[in-house]
Amino acid sequence: MTGNPLFDLLISVVGILALVGFSVSLGGLSTIDITREGACERLAFDEPDFEPETWLIDDRKRSAFAVNRKGELAVIFPMGAEAATRRFAPGAFTCDIIGREVTIRADDHTWRAITLRTDDPLTAARWAKSTLSLGAGTGETRKANGRTGATNG
């Protein structure tokens, strides 16, 4: 544009920041709520052959976990104004439960760990128990209130 590549890049950076600022001013920084209905709909689109048996929905509407009969886990989480899904085979993830919080981790470089907060510790524990009975979480599962143990489903 100007013949000086560095100056051109500087102009581009300023242009990007201006556009991003404009987008913010128009209310572009929104994050989708993950509701039961929304999670079901997203899961049905992304993984149509996944038939959820149990659901766990985040208290703050930031994520949802579903487990099917085969013990596979589906995680639905927000990506800005949209939602996205990850599906894990039994044993392909770890599940940490500390108090009201359930954290799922997996070896996936495009995905971060997701922590879901339940309304009370019992809900998390109950979900973990039913999940394990379905065969999911064959990786390490740590449970409840700082006490750490390893459970294989």
Partner 1 sequence: MGNEAEASIGATFPDIVAFAVPAFILLIILEMIFARVTGRARYETRDTFASLSMGLGNRVAGLIGGSAIAYACYSFVYQFRLIDAIPTVWWSVLLCFIADDFAYYWFHRVSHERRWFWASHVVHHSSQHYNLSTALRQTWTGKFSFTFIFGLPLVVIGFSPEMVLFVGGINLVYQFWIHTEAIDRMGPFEWIFNTPSHHRVHHATNPRYLDANYAGTLIIWDRLFGTFVEEAQEDRPRYGIVKNLATFNPVLIAFHEWIGIAKDVRSAKSVREVFGYIFGPPGWSPDGSRMTSRAVKERWRSMRAAQNSPAE
**x/- letters, 100..129, toward partner 1 (CB under 8 A):** ---------xxxx-----------------
84 binds partner 1 (CB under 8 A): yes
Instruction: Return the structure tokens found at 76.
Output: 């639905």
86 binds partner 1 (CB under 8 A): yes
Candidates 24, 60, 122, 150; binder of partner 1 (CB under 8 A) is 24
80 binds partner 1 (CB under 8 A): yes
Strands (E), 1-99: 52-57, 64-68, 73-79, 82-88, 93-98
* Burial of 151 (C-beta count, 10 Å sphere; 0-12/13-18/19+): middle
9 binds partner 1 (CB under 8 A): yes
Candidates 77, 88, 93, 127; binder of partner 1 (CB under 8 A) is 77
Please name the helix (run of DSSP H) or strand (run of DSSP E) that holds residue 121, with its range, or none: helix 121-133
Centroid of chain to Cα 38: 14
Residue with Cβ nearer partner 1 (43 or 125): 43
20 binds partner 1 (CB under 8 A): yes
**Angle, CA of 138, 142 and 147, to the nearest 5°:** 155
Please name the helix (run of DSSP H) or strand (run of DSSP E) that holds residue 123, with its range, or none: helix 121-133
88 binds partner 1 (CB under 8 A): no
Candidates 85, 118, 131, 141; binder of partner 1 (CB under 8 A) is 85
Sequence-ordered list of residues with C-beta below 8 angstroms from that of 3, at least 6 positions apart, any chain = none
Which spans of this chain sit near partner 1 (rule: CB under 8 A)?
Answer: 1, 5, 8-9, 12-13, 15-16, 19-20, 22-24, 26-30, 45-46, 48-49, 77, 79-82, 84-86, 109-112
